[in-house]
Amino acid sequence: MHAARRSLLIYTVRRLIAGLVCATSACLPASALASIHTDDVAATRAYLRAADMYERSTYAEVGVSVAAIEAHAGEIGIECPSVLTYAPRDAAFGELGEEANRTAFFAGTAPERSALLRLAHTIEHLRWSDRKLTRLVHAEAAGEGAFATLALPDVCADIAAWKANGYAALPQSAARFLARVQAIESLSVTGPSEELRETAIMRLLRPYEKPAERRTARRIERLEAQINRRLRAAGTIAETKLAAVLGVAAL
């Protein structure tokens, strides 16, 4: 594929064929080929099948997830309208705003919790000869399982508790929730460049993929991008709604 500008026809054809073979992961250094075991290929197939099933299920339910985010934001506004209008704009104020936003957003995971748990249980025992890949997949299993079982706080009760103590300190329930979310999300990036965990996993899986698995991987990436766009848009709308109904310009 890199010989388009070569002058010799035979050399061009050979380079083209070599490039096409490399694209299917057949053109690898001898050391890389030696490291690809049957177990690596089987684990890759199992991972991609589980991820594909999850993404398909989530894509089918993304409208339900969006509705759940919008509904939860509406419920918070109905329960404690304008509650932050006169609250001091300090660190606790910002953290309670974050709690409200995160709670509304994670309410959208409710329709996919069973699918999340299935994915986590399927991939948590998979292993590769590549220890980094194994570690990342196990971190994904832990993170997805934690999100699926994350208990959502009572935002209005936390704001009321903050107000009752004279806006002195963030309620412990809010602090625990935010710490838990931060701990879970810390598993979603890897390395000094903070590469997204799923991006790193899909990159490290490529040497073990056959053509069918590569097609599955591309579908997973495409579905995930579409799902994330829908959920991010819903989260932004929920933040704007909460800012209005709770009585602040921005949370």
Structure tokens at 237: 């709308």
Give residue 22's pLDDT: 43
Give residue 37's pLDDT: 82
Q: Which residue has the tokens 């495409």?
A: 222
Tell me the sheet residues that pair with 105: none
Contact call for residues 153 and 103 (beta carbons, < 8 A): yes
Give residue 245's pLDDT: 92
Positive or negative, the CA dihedral 236, 241, 242, 247 is: positive
Instruction: Using a pLDDT cut of 70, give the percent of the chain over it.
Output: 84
Confidence of residue 60 (pLDDT cuts 50, 70, 90): very high
- Of 190, 185, 198, nearest to 225 by C-alpha is 198
Structure tokens at 245: 């109904």
pLDDT at 2 over 60: no
Alpha-carbon distance of 12 to 1, in angstroms, equals 9
pLDDT at 235 over 60: yes
Query: Taking the CB of residue 113, how many other CB atoms lie within 10 A of it?
Result: 14
Calculate the average pLDDT of the chain.
Answer: 85
pLDDT at 10 over 50: no
DSSP, collapsed to helix, strand or coil, labels residue 87 as: coil
Q: What is the CA radius of gyration of the chain?
A: 23
Tell me the sheet residues that pair with 190: 195
pLDDT at 18 over 70: no
Give residue 69's pLDDT: 95
Contact call for residues 18 and 27 (beta carbons, < 8 A): yes
Q: How large is the average pLDDT for residues 234-244?
A: 93
Positive or negative, the CA dihedral 131, 133, 135, 138 is: negative
Contact call for residues 23 and 206 (beta carbons, < 8 A): no
Least confident stretch, 21-35, 151-165, 235-249: 21-35
Give residue 224's pLDDT: 94
Least confident stretch, 64-73, 107-116, 120-129: 107-116
Q: How large is the average pLDDT for residues 136-147?
A: 93
pTM confidence score: 0.78
Span 63-80, pLDDT tens digits: 999 999 999 999 999 999
Alpha-carbon distance of 249 to 243, in angstroms, equals 6
Give residue 109's pLDDT: 84
Tell me, rounded to whole angstroms, the distance of Cα 166 from its chain centroid: 37
Give the Å distances, CA to CA, from 37 to 50, 56, 113, 157: 20, 29, 33, 55
Give residue 208's pLDDT: 95
Span 194-210, pLDDT tens digits: 899 999 999 999 999 99
Tell me the sheet residues that pair with 189: 196
